[in-house]
Structure formats: C-alpha cells, structure tokens
C-alpha cells in the first residue's frame, strides 16, 4: 500500500461455517488505503463474497479484527459513510425506481428536503431512462436493475463503496457507465472495494488487487507493476508436427524464472519476468526440437496473473 492513510484494516480474519468444518476465510490480513480502488479476484468459492460480507457486518467473523475508518464494521458511522451494491439486485419489485430510491434516501438518513433532487440526480447519473423512473421495478431488465443498484449507491456521496460483481448482466454501454462511475469515485478519493470476475474491468480501474483462493490471500499486486515489467509470450507451433509436452515447457520456463500456462490451439503461452529473456526462450524451445512457427508478445495482464496463480496452486 502507498503512503495513503488506512481506510480498511483487516487482521487475521477467520470465518468458519459448520462448527469450524469449512474455513471460508483463513487468516486474511489486509490494509486498504483511503481513496484506493481495491480489487478482489479469485475463483468461485474462494471467499471473496464472505470477505465482503464481513466488511459489511452482514457476517460475523469467527476471529480476527476489522476496522473501517477506525470503527468496527457494524458501527453506524461506517454505514453512513459507505454504500453497497449486492451481487444479485433483489430489490422491492412492487416499487417504482423513484420510490425505491426515496426509500433508500430515507434509510440513509439524508435530509428529506433534498430527497427529490438527490434521487433524480442519482438516476440521471446512472443514465436510467426517465421514462423508467416511475415504472415498477419488476418490469426492469437485469441491466436496468444494475443501474438502479448503482444509483442507490450514489445517494449521500459515500466515502467507501463495496461492489460485488457490478458488471454482471450489463450491456457494453452499462459497463462503460460503470467504469465512468468507478473512475469518478477514484477522482473524488472514494475508497472502492470491487469484487469482480471481469478482470479487464478490474485491470482498468483498480490500484491493487488481491488474489484470494481457499479463504487466503495468495498475492496482492499493484496493477501498475503488472503491466510494466512482465511480458507474456505466445509461441505458435507448426500443427503438422508433434507438440511439446507440458513438463518440457514448464522446465524451460522455470530456467528463465518464468511460468508456462499451457497450450491452446497450437500456441504455447509463457510469462517472463524480463523482455530480454524472450530470445533465450525461443532458443531453448528450438534446441528442444519444438517446431516454432511464430512468436507474439503480449503485455502481461491480470488474466495471466490470475491463470498463473491458479495453476501454481493446482501444481501445489
């Protein structure tokens, strides 16, 4: 974490279910700075949603501590300063969008006299068609529900936002809008915790990401580091000749302190720490009789990191 003051501090957080049989969170420690956009990534069942639940005080940790703005997560001051978008927008279907927003405006303890103005401003910001404002929520599409969910987050100018899979069900325009809102929050120094499977979305907006698996943080990466140094090399092999086996490729990658991700459609995928290792990789492959046809270089992305960490874990 940078020099920013701490917004969220998690210490050795454990959450178990079934009298300790399942450890959903297994000793998570983490600090998130004020104004930081922090991503949680990991496979299904990794514990991301459980972590989010603990941060929102919807789940009680078995042990460990969480402090948000210096308070415990169930403190009303924390809730006044934060906003949340759940994974599945299960709202009061009988209400109209405007009524739903007014209800949340009231729940957020915002001044009644600004209610109409605040509600309309938030609905405008998420670009929900005004003709839908007085329509019952049950007639909304998934994308519209997501927009409404985002709109209720905007009420009261939160200082901390929790978003759980905000991009699911959104069309490209909606996804673009979400990105705009996230970047706007970033500009306003709002702290954001983003749980998403859309790695490209995470990559575009997050400052740091934590890779969570099996209830543990396996790695925390600064996104700026990911894109600058490491590179991904794709080696296309001749389809007529026999493909090299995974062990050979993994060994070659290991000698260069890199990673081998596997083969797809006659293409071998490697990650290297330094660009200068690219020639050595190709040379080693040719020496081992691999029928190299073409070599491409890709910027190392979050997806590669995700796959690499996941594969590393599988190998263990």
Instruction: Catalog residues that contact other proteins under the rule CB under 8 A.
Output: 24, 44-45, 47-50, 52-53, 56-60, 76, 79-80, 82-84, 86-88, 90-92, 94-95, 103-104, 106-109, 152, 162, 164
E strand spans, the chain: 6-17, 22-33, 37-41, 63-68, 82-85, 160-164, 191-195, 208-213, 216-222, 231-237, 259-264, 267-272, 292-299
| C-beta of 34 vs 57, nearer to other proteins | 57
**Closest to 152 in 3D by CA, of 204, 100, 110, 77:** 100
Classify burial at 42, counting beta carbons within 10 Å of its beta carbon; exposed 0-12, middle 13-18, buried 19 or more.
buried
Nearest CB to other proteins, comparing residues 162 and 306: 162
In 199-260, which ranges are continuous DSSP H helix? 199-205, 223-228, 246-255
Dihedral-angle region of residue 157 (phi above 0 means left; psi in -120 to 50 means alpha; beta otherwise)? left
**Least Å from the CB of residue 268 to other proteins:** 34
Minimum separation from the CB atom of position 46 to other proteins (A): 8
Nearer to other proteins, 35 or 61 (CB): 61
Complex with other proteins: residue 37 or 212, whichever CB lies closer: 212
Q: How far is the CB of 84 from other proteins (least distance, A)?
A: 4
Query: For other proteins, which is the closer residue by CB, 73 or 244?
Result: 73
- 89: which strand partners? none
In the complex, what is the shortest distance from the CB of residue 246 to other proteins, in angstroms, rounded to a whole number?
31
- Minimum distance from CB of 195 to other proteins (Å)? 9
- Which contiguous run of DSSP H or E holds residue 90? none
What is the closest distance, in whole angstroms, from the C-beta atom of residue 18 to other proteins in the complex? 13
Place of tokens 């705009």: 180
Closer residue to other proteins in complex, CB, 35/89: 89
Residue 267 structure tokens: 């293409």
């Amino acid at each position: 974490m940078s020099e920013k003051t701490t917004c969220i501090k998690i210490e050795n957080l454990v959450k178990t279910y079934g009298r300790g049989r399942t450890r959903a969170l297994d000793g998570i420690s983490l600090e998130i700075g004020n104004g930081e956009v922090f991503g949680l990534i990991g496979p299904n069942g990794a514990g991301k949603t459980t972590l989010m639940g603990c941060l929102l005080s919807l789940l009680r940790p078995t042990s460990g501590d969480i402090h948000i703005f210096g308070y415990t997560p169930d403190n009303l001051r924390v809730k006044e300063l934060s906003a949340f978008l759940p994974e599945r927008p299960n709202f009061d279907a009988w209400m109209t969008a405007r009524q739903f927003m007014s209800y949340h405006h009231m729940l957020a303890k915002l001044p009644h006299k600004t209610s109409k103005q605040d509600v309309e401003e938030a609905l405008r910001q998420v670009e929900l068609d005004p003709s839908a404002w007085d329509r019952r929520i049950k007639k909304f599409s998934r994308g519209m529900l997501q927009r409404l969910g985002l709109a209720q987050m905007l009420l009261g100018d939160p200082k901390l936002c929790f978003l759980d899979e905000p991009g699911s069900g959104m069309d490209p325009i909606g996804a673009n809008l979400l990105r705009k809102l996230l970047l706007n929050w970033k500009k306003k120094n709002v702290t954001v915790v983003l749980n998403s499977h859309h790695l490209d979305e995470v990559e575009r907006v997050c400052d740091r990401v934590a890779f969570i698996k099996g209830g543990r943080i396996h790695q925390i990466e600064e996104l700026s580091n990911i894109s600058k140094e490491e590179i991904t090399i794709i080696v296309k092999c001749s389809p007529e000749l026999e493909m090299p086996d995974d062990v050979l490729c993994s060994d070659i990658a290991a000698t260069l302190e890199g990673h081998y991700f596997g083969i797809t459609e006659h293409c071998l995928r490697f990650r290297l720490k330094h660009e200068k290792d690219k020639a050595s990789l190709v040379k080693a492959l040719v020496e081992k009789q691999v029928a190299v046809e073409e070599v491409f270089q890709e910027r190392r992305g979050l997806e590669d990191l995700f796959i690499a960490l996941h594969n590393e874990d599988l190998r263990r």
